[in-house]
Amino acid sequence: MKDKIKSFVEEISSFKSDDSGKIEAFRIKFLGKKGAVADLFNDFKSVAKEDRKEIGIALNDLKNKAKEKIENLKSSSLPDKKASDKKEDFTMPGYPNELGSRHPLSIVRKQIIDIFSRMGFTLSYGPEIEDDWHNFSALNFPEEHPARDMQDTFFIENKPGATPEEQIALRTHTSSVQVRVMENSEPPLRTISPGRVFRNEAISARAHCIFHQVEGLYINKDVSFADLKQTLLHFSREMFGADTKIRFRPSYFPFTEPSAEMDISCNICGGKGCNICKYSGWVEILGCGMIDPNVLGNNNIDSKKYTGFAFGMGIERITMLKYQIDDLRLFFENDARFLDQFKAAR
């Protein structure tokens, strides 16, 4: 019996084939129900007691070797066979390469920039962390003006010994950039400043502590309110359609006199009245006015020689009106189901 086992072990170790039929025949020969290993286990019953241990070990070893050999043969022949059977279907469609989309605020910011660029406005950028002078004082904000109040402005801890005008804060509007433009260049000036602004407001469907503005400035000889109106009418028609009407309501800003808020005819209902315009037919889109002579003087521009207008709008508001978005928080959540809807827009 020992010799039989030994010769089987040799036969197993020398067997080679990549033919699945031959491998199966080999498996049946050794491991089949009536195979060589089963036969030997049957014979084992008659092995003398003293030889049982030795032969038992050899027999188990034979069985394991046979199993291992078959597994090895199968795993090395299988992939080859599969590869040769596999037929590529070149008519299958490819995997689509999904394109990303621009954020709606970026789309509308670009549209606003394009419209004003065509009217000759340049682009200006400035710091988001600003001092009191550029954000407030140079813009004619009285000391006790509520916008300087802790409720609206995110103040940053003061440097020791800083004067009130060096007090640091996150800018509350991009009018601060226009102060920087005025102090660094001579009229005629025609520029817009897009950017992020910060106000200490509770987050809701209508307000956020971070939002985006585009503010504009035009200073030249003989600039009048008529120029302001025509510029903003052109902007509104380019942005919301050729039928758009505008109207001005008197308002107050420290840096403009006279000041106004501008409405456009509701682009959703065409002025007939709907829940977006609260059935008035008009929606507010921006603040504007003629630059206060004090502001020009603060920036060494001769207010007897030059006049100018300024305006400022929230990009979120324009985007909400343009795309009928009713909750401002959607802009900041980056939910792909929201963003994917802007794939077609540019």
Binding residues for ligand PHE (CB under 6 A):
173, 175, 215, 253, 256, 287-289, 310-312
Closer residue to ligand PHE in complex, CB, 131/215: 215
Nearest to 231 by CA among 174, 163, 310: 310
Distance in Å from the first CA to the final CA of the chain:
85
Nearest to 307 by CA among 227, 251, 224: 224
Nearest to 214 by CA among 311, 323, 283: 311
Closest contact distance (angstroms) between CB of 217 and ligand PHE is 8
Closest contact distance (angstroms) between CB of 287 and ligand PHE is 3
Closest contact distance (angstroms) between CB of 292 and ligand PHE is 10
Closer residue to ligand PHE in complex, CB, 104/312: 312
Closer residue to ligand PHE in complex, CB, 187/287: 287
Edge-to-edge strand order for the sheet containing 256-265? 122-123, 189-198, 210-220, 307-314, 282-291, 256-265, 246-253
Closest contact distance (angstroms) between CB of 164 and ligand PHE is 20
Distance (Å, rounded) from C-alpha 182 to C-alpha 169?
Answer: 20
* CA distances to 8, 130, 296, 301 from 291, in Å: 104, 21, 7, 11
Cα 126 to chain centroid distance, Å, stands at 23
Closest contact distance (angstroms) between CB of 156 and ligand PHE is 19
Closest contact distance (angstroms) between CB of 203 and ligand PHE is 18
Closer residue to ligand PHE in complex, CB, 27/135: 135
- Are residues 260 and 287 in contact, defined by beta-carbon separation less than 8 angstroms? yes
Closer residue to ligand PHE in complex, CB, 172/267: 172
Distance (Å, rounded) from C-alpha 124 to C-alpha 290?
Answer: 20
**Helical (H) or strand (E) element with 168:** strand 168-170
Closest contact distance (angstroms) between CB of 242 and ligand PHE is 26
Length of the chain: 346
Closer residue to ligand PHE in complex, CB, 37/288: 288
Closest contact distance (angstroms) between CB of 238 and ligand PHE is 19
Closer residue to ligand PHE in complex, CB, 27/171: 171
Closest contact distance (angstroms) between CB of 169 and ligand PHE is 14
Closer residue to ligand PHE in complex, CB, 215/316: 215
- DSSP string for residues in 280-335: SSEEEEEEEEEEPHHHHHHTT--TTT-EEEEEEEEHHHHHHHHHT---TTHHHH--
Q: Which two tokens stand for residue 110?
A: 């670009």
Give the residue closest to ligand PHE by C-beta: 312
Cβ-Cβ contacts under 8 Å for 277 (sequence gap 6 or more) = 266, 268, 269, 283
Cβ-Cβ contacts under 8 Å for 5 (sequence gap 6 or more) = 40, 55, 58, 59, 62
Closer residue to ligand PHE in complex, CB, 62/177: 177
